[in-house]
């Protein structure tokens, strides 16, 4: 499938067009669409009815031989889609739609599938009316049959109903996850979430920290390799913690998707610490950091401590980086700087922790067992009537064991 991509440079735009068009090409590639033509226009502001200027529409019309689809680099309004389709008589789509298509193909779990279904339905509903009948039936990918305005209206209702049902099912799954998380919280295990722009190396870092080779997550050079959050238990400076890998962010992530993926990203909202993975070989890293932080803000993440992990230093292209504090330079792939990262995580998560010495009589052995299982014990020694323990924990926690406490 051959595509012509269209971008507009206008005042007040908050992203870099050239970079964004490169990324759009990568998104196309992920959808098996080849970009064969490109069209850029400079405007004072976006044309509300056609996105581009009227003259440009004519210019594009003359470029359409051997083109199957015209893709705009920003989300078009339903009105723009309708008018452009009327004028160009070809399939018109946009950045958001591509991202949704990728998510649709990659979604594996029930939850991810429901989330994508909701986001796609919400995106599609207001746009259905503007679709031309013959183009509409050509786009059979969405599982619609037949054509005609009546059919479109029927499908509109069908999709609205599907969205509703999907939302209900999702709510159930979300509830289960919340319960799971509550259980974890009771376990007092610290949760670390990996966040960052798509393709920055989050999954690779997760795998580097995860000793159990059966539990490796997919790491791949493609946008949106990860759509599911995966949580693994890892040891951080002899503390057992949970590490969560998350879906990557992208500039102008479609709003519906953020909404739909909110439940998946709740893990991020509730994490004790965020490791923000940055591809330090990418000259656009600063804008990627901004994008990630904006999405985090939108999710309601405010006071969670964050470490910047500038990744891929093995490529030796990180000389231009001006790091934000606190930071670590790493290579997840070549395992460079991981000890330093672990130490930085530990210093933040366990900064109030202190060392205590306990003497636990044998009849209270289950307490020793509990502390041992939770990896709180640094050293122990069997004595005649008791077990001596050197433990590390939060001062609040030690109160529970005050009667066993030895003077330091």
Q: Does 191 show up as a binding residue in the annotation?
A: no
What totals of helices (H) and strands (E) does the chain contain, helices first? Answer: 14, 13
Q: Does 332 show up as a binding residue in the annotation?
A: yes
Q: Shortest approach of ligand GTP to residue 233 CB, angstroms?
A: 19
CB 156 within 8 A of CB 126: no
CB 74 within 8 A of CB 51: yes
By CB under 5 A, the residues from 63 to 122 that bind Mg ion are: none
Q: Going by C-beta distance under 8 Å and a sequence separation of 6 or more, which residues neighbour residue 33?
A: 1, 2, 3, 69, 71, 98
Q: Does 201 show up as a binding residue in the annotation?
A: yes
**Residue whose CB is less far from ligand GTP, 311 or 344:** 311
The region of 65-73, 150-158, 195-203, 386-394 touching ligand GTP under the rule CB under 6 A is 195-203
Closest Cα partner for 77 from 38, 138, 45, 123?
123
* By CB under 5 A, residue 204 contacts Mg ion: no
Work out which of 83, 207, 226, 344 binds Mg ion, going by CB under 5 A.
226
Q: How far apart are CA 91 and CA 94, in angstroms?
A: 10
* By CB under 6 A, residue 224 contacts ligand GTP: yes
Centre a 10 Å sphere on the Cβ of residue 186 and count the other Cβ atoms it contains: 8
Q: Going by C-beta distance under 8 Å and a sequence separation of 6 or more, which residues neighbour residue 138?
A: 91
Q: How far apart are CA 144 and CA 146, in angstroms?
A: 7
* By CB under 6 A, residue 122 contacts ligand GTP: no
Q: Shortest approach of ligand GTP to residue 196 CB, angstroms?
A: 6
CB 408 within 8 A of CB 356: yes
The region of 44-52, 196-204, 373-381, 393-401 touching Mg ion under the rule CB under 5 A is 196-204
372 binds, among Mg ion, ligand GTP, none (CB under 5 to 8 A by kind): none
**Residue whose CB is less far from ligand GTP, 56 or 101:** 101
Sign for the CA dihedral angle at 154, 159, 160, 162 comes to: positive
Q: Shortest approach of ligand GTP to residue 159 CB, angstroms?
A: 28
* By CB under 6 A, residue 314 contacts ligand GTP: yes
Residues interacting with Mg ion, by CB under 5 A? Answer: 202-203, 225-226
- Binding residues are 196-203, 226, 245-248, 311-314, 331-333
Residues interacting with ligand GTP, by CB under 6 A? Answer: 196, 198-204, 219-221, 223-226, 248, 311-312, 314-315, 331-334
């Amino acid at each position: 499938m051959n595509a012509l991509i269209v971008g507009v440079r206008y005042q007040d735009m908050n992203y870099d067009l050239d970079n964004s068009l490169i990324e759009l090409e990568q998104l196309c590639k992920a959808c098996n669409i080849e970009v064969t033509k490109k069209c850029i226009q400079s405007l004072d502001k976006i044309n509300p009815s056609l996105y581009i200027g009227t003259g440009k529409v004519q210019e594009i019309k003359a470029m359409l031989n051997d083109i199957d689809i015209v893709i705009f680099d920003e989300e078009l309004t339903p009105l723009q889609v309708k008018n452009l389709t009327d004028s160009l008589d070809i399939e018109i789509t946009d950045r958001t739609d591509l991202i949704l298509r990728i998510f649709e193909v990659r979604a594996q779990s029930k939850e991810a599938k429901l989330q994508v279904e909701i986001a796609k339905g919400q995106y599609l509903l207001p746009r259905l009316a503007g679709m031309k009948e013959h183009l509409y039936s050509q786009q059979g990918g969405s599982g619609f049959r037949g054509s005609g305005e009546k059919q479109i209206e029927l499908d509109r209702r069908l999709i609205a109903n599907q969205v509703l049902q999907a939302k209900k099912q999702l709510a159930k799954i979300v509830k289960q996850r919340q319960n799971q998380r509550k259980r974890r919280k009771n376990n007092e295990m610290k949760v670390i979430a990996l966040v960052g722009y798509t393709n920055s190396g989050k999954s690779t870092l997760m795998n580097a920290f995860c000793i159990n080779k059966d539990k490796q997550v997919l790491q791949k050079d493609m946008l949106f390799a990860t759509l599911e959050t995966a949580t693994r238990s890892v040891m951080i400076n002899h503390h057992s913690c949970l590490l969560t890998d998350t879906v990557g962010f992208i500039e102008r992530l479609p709003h519906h998707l953020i909404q739909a993926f909110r439940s998946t990203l709740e893990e991020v909202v509730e994490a004790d610490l965020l490791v923000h993975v940055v591809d330090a070989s990418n000259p656009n890293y600063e804008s990627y950091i901004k994008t990630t932080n904006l999405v985090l803000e939108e999710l309601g993440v405010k006071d969670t401590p964050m470490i910047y992990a500038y990744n891929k230093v093995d490529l030796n292209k990180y000389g231009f980086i001006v790091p934000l504090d606190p930071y670590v330079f790493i290579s997840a792939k070549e395992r460079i700087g991981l000890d330093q990262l672990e130490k930085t995580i530990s210093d933040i998560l366990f900064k109030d922790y202190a060392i205590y010495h306990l003497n636990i009589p044998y009849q209270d052995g289950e307490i020793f067992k509990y502390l041992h299982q939770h990896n709180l014990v640094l050293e122990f020694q069997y004595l005649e009537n008791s077990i001596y323990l050197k433990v590390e924990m939060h001062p609040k926690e030690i109160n529970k064991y005050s009667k066993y406490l030895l003077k330091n």
